[in-house]
Every structure is written in C-alpha cells, then in structure tokens.
C-alpha cells in the first residue's frame, strides 16, 4: 500500500474511518466529496468481505454451478439433451481468485490515487482516551466512523473446537472438491453454498435448527426445500445439534430430531450459522461505546454511537448485513458527521436476495411482520406456472407472494421465488417506495414474457383468477 498512499500522522484529519471495506470506502469517499481530509484506516487485506471472501467469489462459483445445472436439465425441452461436469476444480478456483484480485485492485487499491484527500493508514486501530490509536500512534481527527465489518460466527456445538470446520471463506479456497459435505445452517449462505457444492458433484447434507431461510415467507421456505431435495441434497430441518467430532478421516455430527439421536458423517463440514460483528480489539466499551445485544455497535437512526462524534455503519452494527446497505449507511454516517446529523437511515424499502436457484428475493414486510405491526393484512400467492415467462422457459419452479393493507390496499411487501427473481425485486421496491396500491401495480403496464410481469399478475390475483385471463389481459 505504500506505493499508492501517503501517511499523514503528523497532520490533522476532519474525519477518520476505521475499516477499509465497502462501508469504509463509502464513508471515506463521501467525506472527501465534502472537502474533508480523511484518514482511512485498514488492517489486513483491503476491500473487506464482499469483494474478497463474500459476494464476488461466492456468486461467480454459484454461476458456474448454474451452468452445470443448465446443461444437465436441457432435456426439459423436447429434442434436447445435455451433460456437464467439473473437469478442473483448481482452474475454476483460480479463475475466481483472478476475478477477486482484479476487482480489489481496480475498485479499491487503485481508486485511492483518485482521492488525494484520503490518506490510507495500514494498522490495527483501537479507541483510546486520546481518540484513535493506530499501532500505538494517535490519529488526530475531529470525527470518526467505525466500519470494521463482520466475520463468520462459530456455533455453540460441543466439540466444534476439535474439528477442522470450513467457513464460507475457507470453503471457497478449497483446492480439491469435497466428496461429501455437511452444511450447518439454513440461512442464505448455507443454502447458497450447499446447492453450489451439490451441483459441482459433492454429496451434501444441509442441516438447520428451524427451517430454511427462517426470515422468508413459509411458502417460499417450503418450496425451496423441496427444490433442493429434488436436486439430491439431503435437507434435515427442525433439529438440535448435540455434538461434533472427528471420525477417522471424516466428521461426525450428532443431531436430535423429535427426541431421536442420529449421527451424520461427511468428509468436510461447512459452518454457516451467521456472522459476528468485528468489534474485538477496538476497546469500545472501555471508551464509552455501547454494544447491541448481537455484539454489534449500537447506533441510532442517524448512525451515531453512544460516544459523541463517533459513528458506525455496515456489518459491524449487526443489522442489514448487505454490502449495499453497508455503503448506504456509511454514506449517511459521513454526511451526518460533517454536516449536522440531519439524515435518517431508512430500510423500509430495502431489497434482499438469496442467490439459490431459484433465487429468493424480497422487500418490505412479510405477512407475519405486517400482522405483528398491527396491519389488517391481505395476501396473494401466485405460482410461477401462471407466469408466461416460466412456461416458455419450461421452468415453473417458484411463486410470488404479495402482502397488502386490507383497508387501504397499499402494498406492504412481497417475496419472489423464481429462477430470475433477483432482477425483478427492484420493481417491487420502487412500488413500495412510491406507496403504490395492489390495484395500481396490477394496472401498470409490464412487458410480456418477462419474469417481472409476475408482479402484475400477483397483484391482480388479489381480486381475480389470472388463470381465466388471456395473455396480457387486464
């Protein structure tokens, strides 16, 4: 980093940003745009989770697995057949690493040279009575933003410390494809990676305490579970973890299901049970910074911590752990720090995506959350076999569920389970942001033979049976 950055420990900064991932760069660039002198403090590999070990490497491997699956399922079209397999796992991993390196270099390292008012300081930072210390030296700054991210969490399973378990990071670094794999955790990371490894040729058992994607609508969770089982994954849900241990050259996980014990064995085990905010070593409580119950830095709606002039954003706060929300929150934090705390964090129309196949995407309130919030709720559920695009693609896996206020007809939220659902959810996010009604969405013009047209059909389903309409009617 010495070639691209300058150290200005002797000067004074308007703001210091602790953490050099997507949130940190968002805060630093936002502050620089405001004319501030910025100290961006990084420790370890620049770029943070998303580009290095999260979104970018996982999604390129997931896309590769989709290519395999696409070839193998070509026979759903009469007259076609296809087959595909992994011929060089190491070459695939190397290509993933090349993509990560190029994006990290282009979007982080080289980007710093375009912002002369940002000084990159490489070292471990912590709070002290005098402000912020980096490797023992005080960084003079009027305001500061903490953006140190999060790391894979370790579950409380007896014996876990004696087993060489994989995290979402190390699983994507394997030099050989496992023959068998137990995936612990049914959240978005567990579901995505379990399906990816299964499509690559690994025998996968996916286990979870509750159900898959517990924050998703029950209809979505149930359908996705069925689709994964159809692909050959073993999905065991509603269980308790009792013990994990080595068993010769394998790993043995003992679980309890409806009072009965059962031991599952595999060559490797991947732990995907959430992420823990990176607050360790920052000396936050010792310096008057309150932590939330989940271990993240507690912030208010303006990104302020309990300590004056100190803000926090991104995964380190333990909420909305998506890279785009980290960047959004960090931008607000920097603007508030420099301009008087006028901006409020708003996640009411925050879209989210799970990159399984079919993809799961949603925005706004689920049916349960809407009822808990006191709404008189109405819902519509449209199976994908009522969407012409799905029929043309001969892939009707999925559904669309919309939630609306029964009194006002205003849309409150929705979820999409579809092979191309991720590219449709933003339309629903905009509808929610605009305060649209279900009737208004159902009367909006949508292009025919698109997945997003399913939103119009789902909105019409509140009042009519779309199976009784001709193409494009209504």
For residue 355, is pLDDT > 60?
A: yes
For residue 78, is pLDDT > 90?
A: yes
Residues 290, 142 within the same domain: yes
Residues 255, 292 within the same domain: no
For residue 350, the model assigns a pLDDT of: 98
For residue 445, the model assigns a pLDDT of: 96
> Is residue 390 situated within a structural domain?
yes
Residues 311, 424 within the same domain: no
Residues 17, 148 within the same domain: yes
Domain end: 339, 360, 376, which one?
Answer: 339
Confidence of residue 193 (pLDDT cuts 50, 70, 90): very high
**Residues 85-137: pLDDT tens digits?**
999 999 999 999 999 999 999 999 999 999 999 999 999 999 999 899 999 89
Feature table: binding site = 59, 185-192, 274, 315
Feature table: binding site for FAD = 59, 315
**Residues 274-322: pLDDT tens digits?**
999 999 999 999 999 999 999 999 999 999 999 999 999 999 999 999 9
Residues 399, 447 within the same domain: yes
- The alpha carbon dihedral of 424, 430, 432, 436 has a sign of negative
Residues 239, 283 within the same domain: no
The structure tokens listed for 218 are 């029950």
Confidence of residue 341 (pLDDT cuts 50, 70, 90): very high
Residues 364, 464 within the same domain: yes
> Is residue 1 situated within a structural domain?
no
Total structural domains within the chain: 3
> Is residue 433 situated within a structural domain?
yes
Residues 228, 296 within the same domain: no
Confidence of residue 469 (pLDDT cuts 50, 70, 90): confident
**Residues 434-458: pLDDT tens digits?**
999 999 999 999 999 999 999 999 9
Average of per-residue pLDDT across 380-406: 97
Backbone φ and ψ for 6, nearest 5 degrees, come out as -125, 150
**Residues 147-161: pLDDT tens digits?**
999 999 999 999 999
For residue 1, the model assigns a pLDDT of: 35
> Is residue 74 situated within a structural domain?
no
Q: Which has the closest alpha carbon to 60: 105, 108, 94?
A: 94
- The alpha carbon dihedral of 33, 328, 351, 395 has a sign of positive
- The alpha carbon dihedral of 399, 378, 186, 22 has a sign of positive
Average of per-residue pLDDT across 177-187: 98
CATH of the domain at 400: 3.30.390.30
Determine the straight-line distance between the first and last CA of the chain, rounded to whole angstroms.
59
Confidence of residue 468 (pLDDT cuts 50, 70, 90): confident
Longest dimension (CA), the chain: 74
- Cα 244 to Cα 162: distance, rounded to the nearest angstrom: 8
> Is residue 61 situated within a structural domain?
no
> What is this structure's pTM?
0.95
Residues 166, 137 within the same domain: no
- Cα 49 to Cα 185: distance, rounded to the nearest angstrom: 19
Residues 25, 142 within the same domain: yes
Confidence of residue 6 (pLDDT cuts 50, 70, 90): very low
Average of per-residue pLDDT across 405-410: 98
For 370-405, b where at least 16 C-beta lie within 10 A, e where not — what string?
Answer: beeeebebbbbebbbebbbbbeebebbbbbbbbbbb
Mean pLDDT computed over every residue of the chain: 95
**Residues 9-61: pLDDT tens digits?**
445 899 999 999 999 999 999 999 999 999 999 998 999 999 999 999 999 99
For residue 473, is pLDDT > 70?
A: no
For residue 3, is pLDDT > 50?
A: no
In contact, 363 and 432? CB cutoff 8 Å: yes
Find the domain containing 456 and state its range: 352-468
Feature table: binding site for NAD(+) = 185-192, 274
Confidence of residue 472 (pLDDT cuts 50, 70, 90): low
> Is residue 82 situated within a structural domain?
no
Domain end: 255, 273, 291, which one?
Answer: 273
CATH of the domain at 165: 3.50.50.60
Residues 180, 97 within the same domain: no
Average of per-residue pLDDT across 329-353: 97
Residues 106, 211 within the same domain: no
- Cα 27 to Cα 144: distance, rounded to the nearest angstrom: 10
Domain end: 253, 273, 293, which one?
Answer: 273
pLDDT > 90 in the chain, percent? 93
């Amino acid at each position: 980093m010495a070639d691209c950055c300058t150290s200005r420990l002797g000067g004074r900064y308007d703001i210091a940003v602790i953490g050099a991932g997507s949130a940190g760069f968002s805060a630093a660039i936002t502050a620089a745009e405001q004319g501030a002198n910025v100290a961006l403090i990084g420790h370890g590999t620049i770029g943070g989770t998303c580009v290095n070990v999260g979104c970018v490497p996982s999604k390129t491997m997931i896309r590769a697995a989709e290519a395999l699956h696409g070839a193998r399922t070509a026979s759903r079209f009469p007259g076609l057949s296809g087959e595909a397999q992994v011929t060089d796992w190491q070459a695939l991993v190397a290509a993933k690493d090349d993509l990560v390196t190029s994006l990290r270099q282009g979007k982080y390292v080289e980007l710093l040279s375009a912002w002369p008012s940002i000084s990159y300081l490489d070292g471990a930072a912590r709070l002290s009575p005098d402000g912020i210390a980096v490797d023992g030296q005080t960084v003079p700054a009027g305001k500061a933003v903490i953006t140190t991210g999060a790391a894979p969490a370790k579950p409380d399973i007896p014996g876990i410390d004696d087993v060489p378990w994989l995290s979402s990071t190390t699983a994507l670094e394997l030099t050989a494809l496992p023959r068998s794999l137990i995936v612990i955790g049914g959240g978005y990371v567990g579901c995505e990676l379990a399906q990816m490894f299964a499509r690559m040729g690994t025998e996968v058992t996916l286990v979870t305490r509750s159900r898959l994607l517990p924050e998703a609508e029950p209809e979505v969770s149930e359908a996705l579970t069925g689709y994964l089982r159809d692909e050959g994954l073993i999905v065991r849900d509603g269980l308790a973890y009792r013990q994990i241990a080595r068993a010769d050259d394998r790993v043995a996980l003992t679980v309890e299901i409806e009072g009965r014990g059962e031991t599952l064995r595999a060559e490797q085990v991947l732990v995907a049970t959430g992420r823990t905010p990176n607050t360790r070593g920052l000396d936050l409580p010792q310096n008057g910074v309150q932590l939330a119950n989940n271990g993240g830095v507690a912030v208010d709606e303006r990104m302020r911590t309990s300590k004056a002039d100190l803000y926090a954003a991104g995964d380190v706060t333990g909420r909305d752990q998506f890279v785009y929300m980290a960047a959004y929150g960090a931008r607000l934090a920097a603007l508030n720090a420099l301009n008087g705390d006028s901006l409020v964090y708003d996640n009411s129309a925050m879209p989210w995506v799970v990159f399984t196949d079919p993809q799961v995407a949603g925005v706004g309130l689920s049916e349960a959350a809407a009822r808990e919030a006191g709404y008189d709720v109405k819902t519509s559920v449209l199976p994908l076999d009522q969407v012409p695009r799905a029929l043309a693609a001969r892939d009707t896996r999925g559904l669309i569920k919309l939630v609306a206020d029964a009194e006002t007809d205003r849309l409150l939220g929705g979820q999409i389970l579809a092979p191309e659902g991720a590219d449709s959810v933003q339309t629903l996010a905009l509808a929610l942001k605009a305060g649209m009604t279900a009737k208004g969405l159902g009367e909006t013009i949508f292009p025919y033979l698109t997945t997003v047209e399913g939103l119009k059909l789902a909105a019409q389903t509140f009042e009519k049976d779309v199976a009784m309409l001709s193409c494009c009617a209504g």
